[in-house]
Amino acid sequence: MQDSSNKGRGAQSNPDCRYQAQTREAVTDDWFVDAESLPKRKTTVLPEHSKTILSRNQSPDVPFSVSINPYRGCEHGCVYCFARPTHAYLDLSPGLDFETQLFAKPDAPALLRKALAKRNYVCQPIALGSNTDPYQPIERSHCITRQILEILLEHRHPVAIVTKSSMVERDIDILAKLARDNLVQVMISVCTLDKSLARVMEPRASAPQRRLQTIARLHEAGIPVGVLVAPIIPVLNDPEIETIVQTCAELGAGSAGYVMLRLPLEVAPLFEEWLHTYFPLKAEHVLTRIRDTRDGELYRAQFGERMRGTGAFAAIIGRRFEAACQRFDLGGRELTLATDLFQVPEPQRDQLALF
């Protein structure tokens, strides 16, 4: 049974992070506690003053080398989010803390401009939204993502965006200008068209139908847009693969990708808990199928395997996705963003020149 105080959240609990010397577990017999009267968890946002904003990546199975994350933690609350374990670095829980105790990086625009002005900087597409969603609800008031896009536009720098939020439409004015010079691509994450499934799996993200509208509006504005079917969860949403690809292609998506469900570290028990809460009759079937794609385990982190899985079931998923892309003309059109238009920012002087 779901704790009503966590209604509207993805994780069902808040386990201690793996770096703590002691672990605690909340236990109640419900004799003296009325679950309905417990206060709901509120979202808090604190500033995080970083020294740098560009994250370098050398993983061979991801299509980018440089990324920016304007926020740490994500209010969308997707129970399957592979980034949840990063909250443990802050001595916070990858569970409910990840989606309620958030950190914004107000220095990000200034740090980005400083990084672009360095003599040894080499222009390559920056991934925006690689770890947490750059258009999660708090972006509405903080506007850090928009400020970053303004700087990238000013200096004609390529950017690739991944989001499951319709808020990206707010920045169509900037994105359309970037698109004219082949400087942007937007991937909209759509892992289900089932409203009821999305409501419990991605509780604070834009509804599936709203994301479909976003794909259409970005396409109409001349902005290259694709669909990312991620994650594919055996039994729960894998039957929708073909429908999602077809629907998004008809609305203007020009490319498509997919990722099998990833359950690193604390994400595995959080997902199992969620699964038994909302889908108790399907839970064991889902978990068995997940193990079929991970050599009998819930997760394997090896490069080349973690995104696609292994085994017969994972191979079938791959063939189904490839066939759907070919059928609806979404395959074989990898977009290469321009890097030769980049304009280096003028160096900022801390004092007046002598002459």
pTM: 0.92
Q: What is the pLDDT of residue 312?
A: 97
pLDDT in tens, 290-326: 999 999 999 999 998 999 999 999 999 999 999 999 9
Residue type, 335: L
Dihedral angle sign, alpha carbons of residues 57, 43, 41, 277 = negative
Q: In what order do the strands lie in the sheet with 184-189?
A: 55-56, 66-68, 126-128, 159-163, 184-189, 225-232, 256-260
**195: helix, coil or strand?**
helix
Structural domain contains residue 353: no
Q: How far is Cα 237 from Cα 83, in angstroms, rounded to an integer?
A: 21
Structural domain contains residue 27: no
Rg of the chain on CA atoms, in Å: 21
The secondary structure of 204-259 as a DSSP string is: TSPPHHHHHHHHHHHHHTT--EEEEEEEE-TTTTGGGHHHHHHHHHHTT---EEEE
Helix 283-292, helix 311-327: angle, nearest 10 = 90
129 burial via Cβ count (<10 Å: 0-12, 13-18, 19+): buried
Structural domain contains residue 8: no
Contacts of 315 (CB under 8 A, 6+ apart): none
CA distances from 316 to 215, 239, 260, 288, 310 (A): 27, 12, 12, 16, 10
Structural domain contains residue 224: yes
Structural domain contains residue 35: no
Degrees to nearest 5, angle at CA 330 with 183 and 124: 25
Q: How far is Cα 277 from Cα 12, in angstroms, rounded to an integer?
A: 8
Q: What is the pLDDT of residue 41?
A: 84
For residue 137, what is the domain's CATH number?
3.80.30.30
**Domain range for 284:** 44-327
Beta-sheet pairing, 256-260 with 225-232 = parallel
- The residue behind tokens 């419900």 is 30
Structural domain contains residue 312: yes
Q: What is the pLDDT of residue 335?
A: 79
Instruction: Classify residue 50 by its DSSP letter.
Output: -
Structural domain contains residue 178: yes
Q: What is the pLDDT of residue 175?
A: 98
List the chain residues with pLDDT less than 70.
Answer: 1-5, 21-39, 331-334, 348-355
Q: What is the pLDDT of residue 40?
A: 77
pLDDT in tens, 202-235: 999 999 999 999 999 999 999 999 999 999 999 9
Please report how many Cα atoms fall inside a 13 Å half-sphere around the Cα of residue 177, on the Cβ side.
12
Do 72 and 89 form a contact (C-beta atoms < 8 A)?
Answer: no
Q: Where are the alpha helices (DSSP H) in 65-138?
A: 96-100, 108-116
How many independent structural domains does the chain possess? 1
Beta-sheet pairing, 101-104 with 71-72 = antiparallel
Structural domain contains residue 355: no
Q: What is the pLDDT of residue 108?
A: 97
Q: What is the pLDDT of residue 61?
A: 82
Q: What is the pLDDT of residue 130?
A: 86
Helix 241-250, helix 208-220: angle, nearest 10 = 30
